[in-house]
Each structure stands twice: as C-alpha cells, then as structure tokens.
Structure 1
Amino acid sequence: MSIKSIKKGTILVAKPTLSNDIFQRSIILITEHLESGSIGFILNRSSHIPISIFVSEIESGSIVYEGGPVDKENIYYIHKRPDLIKNSEKIVDNLYWSGSYDDVREAVNQNLIQNNEIKFFIGYCGWAPKQIKDELDHNSWTITDLDFDIFENWDANLWKTLMKQLGGENLIWLNTPADPSMN
C-alpha cells in the first residue's frame, strides 16, 4: 500500500512524532504537488460547524473541516462534481478541488450536490519546495495511496484505520495515547 513518491491524490498519514498541534494524527490529501510547493487538506479534523455558519449564502448542514493552518479566512472544497462546478482542478479520477464558488453555492442551494459529493475546509496545508521531502526524511509522515471515500465522516477513526492498513511497525502506535508522554 505504501508508495515512494508524492503526487496529486497521495495521502500523508501523520506519524506519532507529529504531536501537540494540528497535524497530530492527521490524514492529509495532497491536491497539488509542484516544484514550487504543495497543497493539501486535513481530512479528519471536523470543526463540527456547518458551512452555513461560515458562509451564510450556502444553505447546507455540511460540516466544515479544518483543512490546515494556512489561510484560515477562506473556505475551500473537494468534490466529485466537475459537471456542475466550472474550473475544477482534477486530483485523481472522480475527485476534484476548487472551481467556481458561484457554481458551488448554486448547486448546493438547489440540492444538486449531496453531502457525500463535496467536503468543505477552512484553511489548507501548504509546503514550500522540498519541505515535504524534509519532513519525510525526519519520519514525520507515511505516504500511501488514496483508497477510501474521503466524503465519509471519519474524524479520529481514519488515522487508526490507515495505520492498521499500513501494518508493520505502524501497528505499535494504534493504542498509544495521543500524547505519548501520558503513557
């Protein structure tokens, strides 16, 4: 299941060495990976707040996720509906990010997009050139393929699920507390 290089659609699974911050036990979907840097979104950090609280013109109970520490003044989205959202950026087959905000607002308000077809984020994760490579060299992340539905409500369960799938040395971390010093 592990892969050697990062590309669009790669999943970063936080190692326990990343503790006491937003990246602790986080699962990140890479949506853009270029020489100039990378962008991704944390998939398992729910804000427990519906999008309608953040953006009053979107009438939906869809929960917003904490996408990352960068640009927390803006809402971003990953979706399955490039047919309804112009200028969407393809991540992998049947998975897109960004696109026309007006199209999103209209499609959500007209119930053309369902909750299992779009996920909203406040902020994102950003890396400077070669920063992810440095973090991988420091054993901060495990990288793997995207082989689960990101639109399910995973929250904390996703980290344990992926650690089990990765197996090997990752299994030792399953039952450790979020703060290993409390063990």
Structure 2
Amino acid sequence: MLKFTPNDKEQPQKGDILLAEPFMEDPYFRRTVILLCEHNEEGSFGFVLNNYIDASLEDIMDDLSMFQSRISVGGPVKHNNLYYLHTLGDTLSDSIHVTEGIYMGGNFEELKELALAGKVTDDHVRFFVGYAGWSPDQLMSEVKSKSWFISSSDQRTLMDTTNETLWNSLIKKLGKEYSHLADLPPNPSLN
C-alpha cells in the first residue's frame, strides 16, 4: 500500500536523519535532509545536509584554503557562524559524538593544524553556515503534524557533499510504500 505522509508516532533521537515531507512550503526546509545533532528537553538542533552555498571556505575565513569541499547552509539560525562535522573522533579535543563515526565541533585550532600537516582532508570534515533549531517540544509537534520522516544513514552518506539527489535516495530507502514520493515533482501544480 502506498503511503503519502510520515508516521506521526516516531520519536526522533540524536543521530537520526529528518527528511522533510515532500510538499513542505518553508523554503529553508523544502526537501531537506537534516542530521539531528541534539534532541532533548531543552530543544533540538541539526544541520541541513543538502543545501549548499556558492562560496568557498576561503571566502568565509582566510586561513581555511586547505579545504575545497562544498559548504552547506545548515539552517536558518546563526548564519554568521561556521560549524563542522567530522570523522576524526577524539583526535580533536572537545568533539561531541553525534552518531556512529560522526562528531561535531571540537578544537578549531587543532583542526587547522591537522589540515596544514596533511592529516585531514575534505573527506574528514564538512562545513555548515548556520543550523536548524527547534525550541522544547517544537520538533515533536512537527513530527506529530507529519512534517518529518525519521530515518538513519551511514557515515559515508552523511559526509558526502556531492550527492545532488540525497533527499530522493533517502526517501526511497524508507521502503517501497514511500518510494513513489521521491519521484513527485517539487510543485505538483507545474506537472
């Protein structure tokens, strides 16, 4: 049986992937894939994985020319801040474990030193301008209103900045009953 809406009974957890329902109107979240980095009684936040800006890290910070990866718009909150996910684990002090093989933040000076020494490449780090945030209970309210599919993914997929069809491929992975959603046009009235 074909399904058209997310399950409103699921409970998001830190490390989960949020997939926007296909007709979400909000321009920041239309067909987005978000890695949920924190979810607790104080609120939730994460990074949009599939929305990019047309700028280099060197355009944003002078001393990051060693990185050539694409920069994601992590969400509508705090666009003046640069955030990052990485696969370096405890190699960077003060890193926060998010999900299997994925860490957030950590000592930025250590990251730059490792990169200058050739020990960190674009495959190890991905950068975000801003983040997506929810006040206490806001995300659960959105889940109950069927705005988000809750899923999971692997380290390679989460760190990949080249996949232009990430939302579609992760919707298809939800199962046959949802795979038809990946083929729907973003605006059905233009079909």
Q: Establish whether TM, by shorter chain, passes 0.5.
A: yes
1:93 is displaced (CA, Å) by 2.6
SS of 1:123 mapped into structure 2: strand
SS of 1:174 mapped into structure 2: helix
Task: Write the distance in 2 (CA, Å) between the matches of 1:82 and 1:167.
Answer: 32
Task: Write the distance in 1 (CA, Å) between the matches of 2:52 and 2:163.
Answer: 6
1:173 is displaced (CA, Å) by 1.8
Q: Match for residue 9 of structure 1?
A: 15
Task: Write the distance in 1 (CA, Å) between the matches of 2:45 and 2:64.
Answer: 25
Asked if structure 2 preserves the Cα contact closer than 8 Å seen for 1:45 and 1:155, the reply is no
Give the paired residue count.
182
Q: CA RMSD in A?
A: 1.8
Task: Write the distance in 2 (CA, Å) between the matches of 1:48 and 1:115.
Answer: 17
Task: Write the distance in 2 (CA, Å) between the matches of 1:122 and 1:110.
Answer: 25
Q: Kindly report which structure 2 residues correspond to 1:53-68, keeping only aligned pairs within 5 A, or say none.
A: 53-59=59-65, 60-68=67-75
1:108 is displaced (CA, Å) by 2.2
Task: Write the distance in 1 (CA, Å) between the matches of 2:177 and 2:138.
Answer: 24
Asked if structure 2 preserves the Cα contact closer than 8 Å seen for 1:32 and 1:40, the reply is yes
Q: Which of 93, 97, 116 is the matching residue for 2:104?
A: 97
Task: Write the distance in 2 (CA, Å) between the matches of 1:114 and 1:173.
Answer: 35
1:55 is displaced (CA, Å) by 0.9
Matched, 1:160 2:168: yes
SS of 2:123 mapped into structure 1: helix
TM-score by length of structure 1 reads: 0.91
SS of 1:105 mapped into structure 2: helix
Stretches of structure 1 lacking an aligned partner (at least 5 in a row): none
SS of 2:71 mapped into structure 1: strand
Q: Which string of whole-angstrom CA distances, capped at 9 and with x for unpartnered residues, describes residues 41-83 of structure 1?
A: 0111121322111111112212211100000001000001134
Q: Kindly report which structure 2 residues correspond to 1:141-180, keeping only aligned pairs within 5 A, or say none.
A: 141-147=148-154, 149=156, 150-180=158-188
Task: Write the distance in 1 (CA, Å) between the matches of 2:23 and 2:184.
Answer: 12
Q: Match for residue 39 of structure 1?
A: 45
Asked if structure 2 preserves the Cα contact closer than 8 Å seen for 1:46 and 1:155, the reply is no
Q: Kindly report which structure 2 residues correspond to 1:18-33, keeping only aligned pairs within 5 A, or say none.
A: 18-19=24-25, 21-33=27-39
Asked if structure 2 preserves the Cα contact closer than 8 Å seen for 1:17 and 1:140, the reply is no
TM-score by length of structure 2 reads: 0.88
Task: Write the distance in 2 (CA, Å) between the matches of 1:176 and 1:20.
Answer: 17
Amino acid at match of 1:93: E
Amino acid at match of 2:143: L
Of residues 150-159 and 118-127 in structure 1, the stretch that sits farther from structure 2 once superposed is: 150-159
CA 143–23 in structure 1, closer or farther in 2 if over 3 Å, else same: same
SS of 1:115 mapped into structure 2: coil
Q: Match for residue 3 of structure 2?
A: none
Q: Which string of whole-angstrom CA distances, capped at 9 and with x for unpartnered residues, describes residues 147-171 of structure 1?
A: 3521112443111101111124422
Task: Write the distance in 2 (CA, Å) between the matches of 1:35 and 1:154.
Answer: 34
Asked if structure 1 preserves the Cα contact closer than 8 Å seen for 2:101 and 2:155, the reply is no
Asked if structure 1 preserves the Cα contact closer than 8 Å seen for 2:12 and 2:150, the reply is yes
